[in-house]
Amino acid sequence: MLIKIQFAELAKAAAPEAGVLILPVGADKKLSPAAETLDKQSGGLIKKALGGGKFSGKRGQYLSLGLPAGTKADRVLLAGFGDAKSLDAQAWEKIGGGCVPHVNSAGAKSAGFVLEAVKGMTLALPEAAARIAHGAHLRSYHFDKYFTKKTADEKPTLQSFTVALAGAKALAQKSYDKLEKLAQGVIFTRDLVSEPANIINPETLAEKCKTLTSLGVDVEILGEAEMYALGFGALLGVGQGSSAESQLVVMRYNGLGKASKTAPIAFVGKGVTFDTGGISIKPANGMEEMKWDMGGAGVVIGLMKALAGRKAKVNVVGVVGLVENMPGGNAQRPGDVVTSYSGQTIEVLNTDAEGRLVLADALWYTQKLYKPKFIIDLATLTGAIIVALGTSRAGLFSNNDKLAEQLFKTGAKVGEEVWRLPMGEVYDKQINSDIADMQNIGKEREAGSITAAQFLQRFVNNVPWAHLDIAGVAWSKKDDAITPKGGTGYGVRLLNQLVADYYE
């Protein structure tokens, strides 16, 4: 269950009758007017707490205090924000999100965040309020649908989160409305990535895409018969060992109107709903995590939900190739040669380098049929990118400096960072095959993420293109300020902001 978000006039909500009252405190430890009032009501409890201990008002610090009888709130939570001048949208989101686990730890059902103007603060108060709420909304997510025996004290307690500010409730709500649609897209992606592979397979994931029609998205699904007729040899080869039928889903949203002739922007996602590695089978340890090898497709689906939900003024097409990579009796073998939709032939030397085969046909189909302004693909493509960048950044590869720079700046802005890696002939020749146009892995072990990107570049036909390898960021084994551990939804916020800043 996600929390209910509300906004209130400060005069009416400065002292809630129950729950946790959240008060922001800067590095100077100066109390806001509301905090001063509560401090007097509590007999100086807040100032006493600030006078000693480790709480310094640094951003990311929180201090929970019990309040004496006579005060209306059950507890007060001091939320450090550091230097007011550095409080951008991302910072306020993290402050809001960081409050959620502390409120849950207190066992409270409601929380009220009292937001007052701070000297040096650059973000308008209504926008800051909306960002606080957005962060709390995202952090309150938990995937718990399969628990049947959790007791009440094991479940999160927070049900409602109110941000109170003076004279700007309506403006805060207006700012939040679009952020709520964005959060719904992120949460949809998290749900899809978190589902087990016996629930989400190519066919059921395609059905999930159909739910976007209620938002005005046109959804077209190509089954195996249609793809065989078109010549999707690369994608179909990956899924031929599975009993689940492979799918290609095209989602189109014309935010500029159905009659608009403006070329769309395109997003393409790898959707391997479970990846055993095929005949080149993976080790058993950790294989259960391969349910989220459809993370790239999940991001594209969630992004389409977010853009359509907030009625973005842009024409966009989202394409996801959905397969299951299984070692069945009909599975693709190492050494097989397949013919891609582009007509280029591929020697499959490793059936666990399957995502690039799926994307090869999806990318060519997208650029050929829709002639987009650019294509961005997302894929949990290589373990090598985790070795290179860890779990804090996605790998970025591109044939277009402008698009790459836009992605880099946007990633820093929203906190979903990317890092560009090189490409070039020295890497491209590593995927030349002795018996076909190319092979699906490099001749050497090194630079595995780069040779994978070089492979994909052969299927974009000089369209401006960027590839995001999200293997290290699609799933998290620990909580952060706005993301609980599990499926992160990384990429939805990044690409939504890219569209908003540069293409609407």
Do both 483 and 364 map to the same domain?
yes
Residue 372 covered by a domain = yes
Residue 421 covered by a domain = yes
pTM of the predicted protein model:
0.97
Q: Are 216 and 315 in contact (CB under 8 A)?
A: no
**Percent of the chain scoring above 90 in pLDDT:** 88
Contacts of 139 (CB under 8 A, 6+ apart): 96, 97, 98, 100, 101, 481, 482, 483, 484
**Given 102, 135, 168, which residue is the final one in a domain?**
168
Would you say residue 12 has pLDDT above 70? no
What's the mean pLDDT in 330-358? 98
Do both 483 and 343 map to the same domain?
yes
Domain housing 490 = 183-503
Alpha-helical segments (H) within 272-376: 295-309, 355-370
Residue 174 covered by a domain = no
Do both 189 and 142 map to the same domain?
no
pLDDT of residue 51: 85
Q: What is the CATH number of the domain that holds 271?
A: 3.40.630.10
Do both 117 and 235 map to the same domain?
no
Which of the following is catalytic: 356, 393, 458, 493?
Answer: 356
Do both 152 and 190 map to the same domain?
no
Give the model confidence (pLDDT) of 198-251 as tens digits. 999 999 999 999 999 999 999 999 999 999 999 999 999 999 999 999 999 999
Give the model confidence (pLDDT) of 412-452 as tens digits. 999 999 999 999 999 999 999 999 999 999 999 899 999 99
Do both 15 and 108 map to the same domain?
yes
What's the mean pLDDT in 39-67? 89
Residue 55 covered by a domain = yes
CA dist 7 and 5 (Å) reads 7
Do both 199 and 333 map to the same domain?
yes
Do both 144 and 202 map to the same domain?
no
Do both 130 and 192 map to the same domain?
no
What's the mean pLDDT in 460-488? 97
CA dist 393 and 418 (Å) reads 5
CB atoms within 10 A of CB 199: 14
Q: What is the CATH number of the domain that holds 98?
A: 3.40.220.10
The structural domain count of the chain equals 2
Would you say residue 37 has pLDDT above 90? no
What's the mean pLDDT in 187-207? 98
Residue 178 covered by a domain = no
Do both 276 and 219 map to the same domain?
yes
Give the model confidence (pLDDT) of 251-289 as tens digits. 999 999 988 989 999 999 999 999 999 999 999 999 999
Do both 138 and 226 map to the same domain?
no
CA dist 148 and 275 (Å) reads 28
Q: How far is CA 302 from the centre of its chain?
A: 8
Question: Which pLDDT band holds residue 23 (cuts at 50, 70, 90)?
Answer: very high
**Given 124, 142, 168, which residue is the final one in a domain?**
168
**Percent of the chain scoring above 70 in pLDDT:** 98
Structure tokens at 310: 């907030």
Strands (E), 386-441: 394-398, 418-420, 438-439
Phi and psi, residue 114, nearest 5°: -95, 110
Please confirm, yes or no, whether 282 is among the known catalytic residues: yes
Residue 133 covered by a domain = yes
Per the prediction, the chain carries an average pLDDT of 95
Of residues 96 and 71, the one with the higher pLDDT is 96
Do both 109 and 255 map to the same domain?
no
Residue 336 covered by a domain = yes
Question: Which pLDDT band holds residue 17 (cuts at 50, 70, 90)?
Answer: low
Residue 176 covered by a domain = no
Structure tokens at 325: 């990579």
CA dist 13 and 27 (Å) reads 25
Which of the following is catalytic: 29, 72, 109, 282?
Answer: 282
**Given 123, 138, 168, which residue is the final one in a domain?**
168
